[in-house]
């Protein structure tokens, strides 16, 4: 066992004395030591309940003959960080989480790991750590929030209140209406109730084989989540005994499965950052081009918020992620031979699974669309690609051409939108918000929600080298690569330039001649970095382009 390095032999007497200082007994030290990596904190609603999950996981580990020891991982609430400098510190935590988990595990020589994340960056961060460390590991997340219920009886969620701010500025919603959203949009602990980034990534832990069925969908407040945690604690002991490791599970085929399920579910565009980063840690390279190939043959089966009016609890009741995967097997879209944390293949896991609600999970014969939920666009504005959640785009915006309205940061764009300076037909361009230029690649939920809330969601597009929340809907195109700070063509766009978008044909074009672009490039000067000290400054020097997953070199 790995833990023999800290507990066996006369040379390890000093180490054992410190383990005894923890209150551990010889009996406990004779068993495998399982690290419980918990993101519990008291500032993130998705993490406030993780202490309960920790205790349940520990009970499962002990029941199966192991010794559980918890250590923490950080987590940022993207909703609370949204709209100010805090959002620059969201994406960057993904790599901090992976690095700090690596340090803790290597320093203390755990035999196995149970990862307890829940929100946007700590799920992929811990998946990256699991792939990098490659010791037996399994995930048990905190679960999704319940949908809110307005005073009118209508269900609601986080994306609705962001759009409500836009409606308020447009004069179509009063303060009383805002208060109704405030008090009801987020009614419980858990990751926010739509198919946003946190829930997207939690669902993909199942699709890639690193979590038990239900991990992505069982609501946080339900006792079923505690039972799932206990079963996960038991299962890690089996993985240790059988020596099944993350790289045995997270194979190239497993990543293809995950991207296929991603397209069927209509997941957040942030998965296009996280899946390549996780794969990189597993020694596998996946590209944005592969995403379009998978999307072209994968029907979109779910329209959860923000794309539609169903929520994570509905997906759970319909059969969850496995029911979506079962539909995909009807057209042989998955590799079912892959190993999973159950100790069985995906084919064995899906035996007997039934889609119990064809309104929530469309049968594959009757999809929302024949293509997947995400599209990667390319053209002279984004030679290396950019990303849009096409399942959440209004039909009339799938093809759009209009004048560029150029802003050098998110804050300036929001001010213009609220001031009524953006009109039907415009293409809002927000640049210098990429991984390097931000730095930190802020989410643009505020401007996209403002556009939709002010009634412009069916007539205005937004393009950025930043990224979007999973709660974003509309013709919101992010991850433009190369980014402006790296000299990408988005840096050369001028006010009034025509930009043509064709999502159906995966095209995005700045209607300017190559000669004109070259002339502009000769005159272009990269702005001074916005932040020159601290972690963000170091991050900006090391981070790769968004199309490569914004990984650190």
Question: What does DSSP say about strands 33-38 and 67-72: parallel, antiparallel, or unpaired?
Answer: parallel
Q: How far apart are CA 383 and CA 480, in angstroms?
A: 9
Active-site residue identified among 469, 476, 544, 545: 469
341 class by beta-carbon count within 10 Å (0-12 exposed, 13-18 middle, 19+ buried) = buried
Q: Is 265 left (phi over 0), alpha (psi -120 to 50) or beta?
A: alpha
**Token duo for residue 229:** 């945690």
Contacts of 224 (CB under 8 A, 6+ apart): 214, 218
Cα–Cα distances (Å) from 221 to 3, 187, 379, in that order, read: 35, 11, 45
Please, what sign has the CA dihedral across residues 448, 449, 450, 456?
positive
- Is 469 annotated as catalytic? yes
DSSP string over 183-242: HHSS-SSSB-SSS-HHHHHHHHHHHTTSB-TTTTTS-TTSHHHHHHHHHHHHHHHHHHHH
Residue of 120, 95, 118, 101 lying closest to 35 (CA atoms): 101
CB 552 within 8 A of CB 539: yes
CB 504 within 8 A of CB 399: yes
Q: Tokens 């709660």 belong to which residue?
A: 471
Measured torsion, CA atoms of residues 58, 59, 63, 64, in degrees rounded to the nearest 10: -30
Residue of 376, 473, 488, 495 lying closest to 429 (CA atoms): 495
**Around 142, how many Cα atoms within 13 Å sit in the side-chain half-sphere?**
31
Count of other CB atoms within 10 angstroms of residue 13: 9
Q: How far apart are CA 34 and CA 32, in angstroms?
A: 6
Q: What angle do CA 203, 209, 215 make, to 5 degrees?
A: 40
CB 126 within 8 A of CB 97: yes
Phi, psi dihedrals of residue 383, rounded to the nearest 5°: -60, -30
Contacts of 240 (CB under 8 A, 6+ apart): 32, 34, 66, 111, 112, 136
Give me the active site residues, please.
469
């Amino acid at each position: 066992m790995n833990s023999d390095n800290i507990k066996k032999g006369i040379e390890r007497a000093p180490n054992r004395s410190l383990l005894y200082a923890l209150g551990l007994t010889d009996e406990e030290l004779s068993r495998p030591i399982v690290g419980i990596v918990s993101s519990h904190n008291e500032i993130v609603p998705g993490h406030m309940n993780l202490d309960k999950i920790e205790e349940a996981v520990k009970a499962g580990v002990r029941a199966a003959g192991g010794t559980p020891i918890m250590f923490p991982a950080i987590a940022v609430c993207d909703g609370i960080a949204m709209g100010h400098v805090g959002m620059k510190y969201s994406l960057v935590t993904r790599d901090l989480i992976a690095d700090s988990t690596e340090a803790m595990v290597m320093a203390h020589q755990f035999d196995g790991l149970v990862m307890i994340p829940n929100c946007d960056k700590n799920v992929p961060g811990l998946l990256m750590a699991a792939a990098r460390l490659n010791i037996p590991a399994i995930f048990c997340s905190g679960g999704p929030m319940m949908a809110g219920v307005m005073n009118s009886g209508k269900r609601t969620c986080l994306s609705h209140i962001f759009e409500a701010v836009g409606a308020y500025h447009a004069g179509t919603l009063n303060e009383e209406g805002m208060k109704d959203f405030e008090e009801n949009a987020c009614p419980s602990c858990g990751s926010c109730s739509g198919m946003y980034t946190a829930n997207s990534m939690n669902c993909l832990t199942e699709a890639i084989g690193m979590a038990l069925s239900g991990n992505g969908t069982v609501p946080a407040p339900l006792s079923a989540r505690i039972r799932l945690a206990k079963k996960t604690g038991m299962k890690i002991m089996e993985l240790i005994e059988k020596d099944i490791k993350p790289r045995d599970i997270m194979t190239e085929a497993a990543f293809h499965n995950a991207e296929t399920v991603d397209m069927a579910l209509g997941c957040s565009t942030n998965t296009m950052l996280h899946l390549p980063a996780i794969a990189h840690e597993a020694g596998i390279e996946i590209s944005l081009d592969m995403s379009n190939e998978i999307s072209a043959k994968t029907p979109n089966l779910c329209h959860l918020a923000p794309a539609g009016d169903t929520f994570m609890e509905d997906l759970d009741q319909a059969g969850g992620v496995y029911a979506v995967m079962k539909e995909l097997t009807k057209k042989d879209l998955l590799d079912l031979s892959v190993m999973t944390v159950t100790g069985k293949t995906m084919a064995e896991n899906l035996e007997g699974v039934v889609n119990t609600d064809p309104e929530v999970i469309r049968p594959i014969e009757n999809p929302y669309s024949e293509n997947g939920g995400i599209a990667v666009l390319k053209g002279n504005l984004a030679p290396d690609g950019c990303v849009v959640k096409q399942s959440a785009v209004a039909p009339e915006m799938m093809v759009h051409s209009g004048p560029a309205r150029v802003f050098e940061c998110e804050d300036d764009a929001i001010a213009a939108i609220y001031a009524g300076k953006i009109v039907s037909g415009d293409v809002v361009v927000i640049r210098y918000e990429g991984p390097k230029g931000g730095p930190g690649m802020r989410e643009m939920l505020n401007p996209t929600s403002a556009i939709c809330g002010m009634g412009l969601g069916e007539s205005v597009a937004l393009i950025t080298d930043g990224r979007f929340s999973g709660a974003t809907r509309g013709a919101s195109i992010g991850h433009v690569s190369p980014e402006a700070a790296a000299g990408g063509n988005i840096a050369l766009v001028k006010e009034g330039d025509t930009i043509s978008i064709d999502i159906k044909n995966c095209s995005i074009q700045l209607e300017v001649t190559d000669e004109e672009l070259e002339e502009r490039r000769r005159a272009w000067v990269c702005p001074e970095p916005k932040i020159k000290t601290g972690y963000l400054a170091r991050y900006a020097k090391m981070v790769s382009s968004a199309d490569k997953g914004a990984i650190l070199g």
